[in-house]
Chain A
Amino acid sequence: MTVQYIRPTDQGDLISALGACAAGQAEGIDTILRLEGGRLFGVARRMLGRGDLAEEAVQDAMVQIWRKAGQFRAEDGSARGWIYAVLRNRCLNILRDGRRLTTLAPEDLVALQEARQEAVPQEGWELLPGSGRLRDCLAQLDGEARHAILLAHVGGFSHGEIAGRQQVPLGTAKSWIRRGLASLRECLS
Chain B
Amino acid sequence: MSLDPREMADDYVLGLMEPLEAAGFEARMEREPALARAVAQARDRLLPLDLSAPEAALPPGFAERVRAAIAAEPPAPTAANLPGLPARRWAPALAACAGLLAGLVLGWQRPEPEPLVIAVLLDDQGVPQAMVEDYGDDTAQVRFLADVAVPPDRTMQVWTLPSAEMGPVSLGILTEAAATRLEGPPLPRPAGRQLYEITLEPLGGSPTGRPTGPILGKGLAALQDG
**Chain B 8-54 residues near chain A, CB threshold 8 A:** 10-11, 13-16, 19, 33, 36-37, 39-41, 43-54
Please tell me which one of the listed residues B19, B67, B78 contacts residue A26 in the complex, with CB atoms under 8 A apart: B67
| Interface secondary structure of B, over-half rule | helix
B168-219: which have CB < 8 Å to A?
Answer: 208, 212
User: Are B79 and A127 in contact, with the CB atoms below 8 A?
Assistant: no
A150 touches which of B15, B45, B49 (Cβ 8 Å): B49
In the assembled complex, the Cα of A74 lies from the Cα of B75 at a distance in Å of: 24
Which residue of B is nearest A137, CB measured?
B45
Report if A158-B80 is in contact (Cβ < 8 Å); known contacts: A6-B51, A129-B48, A134-B49.
Answer: no
Q: Which chain A residues (1-48) contact chain B, with CB distance < 8 Å?
A: 1-2, 4, 6-7, 21-24, 26, 29-30, 33, 37-39, 41-43, 45-46
Question: Would you call B50 and A62 a contact (CB within 8 A)?
Answer: no
Bound CA span A29–B69, Å: 11
Q: Chain A at the B interface: mostly helix, strand, loop or mixed? A: helix
User: 1/0 per position for A57-71, CB-CB distance to B under 8 A?
Assistant: 011001100111111
A105 within 8 A of B: no
Instruction: Enumerate chain B residues within 8 angstroms of A159, measured Cβ to Cβ.
Output: 16
Instruction: Apart from A23-B80, A68-B79, list 15 A-B contacts with CB within 8 A.
Output: A4-B51, A42-B56, A62-B66, A70-B77, A70-B79, A71-B79, A76-B41, A77-B44, A82-B43, A88-B50, A128-B49, A134-B46, A134-B48, A152-B16, A185-B6
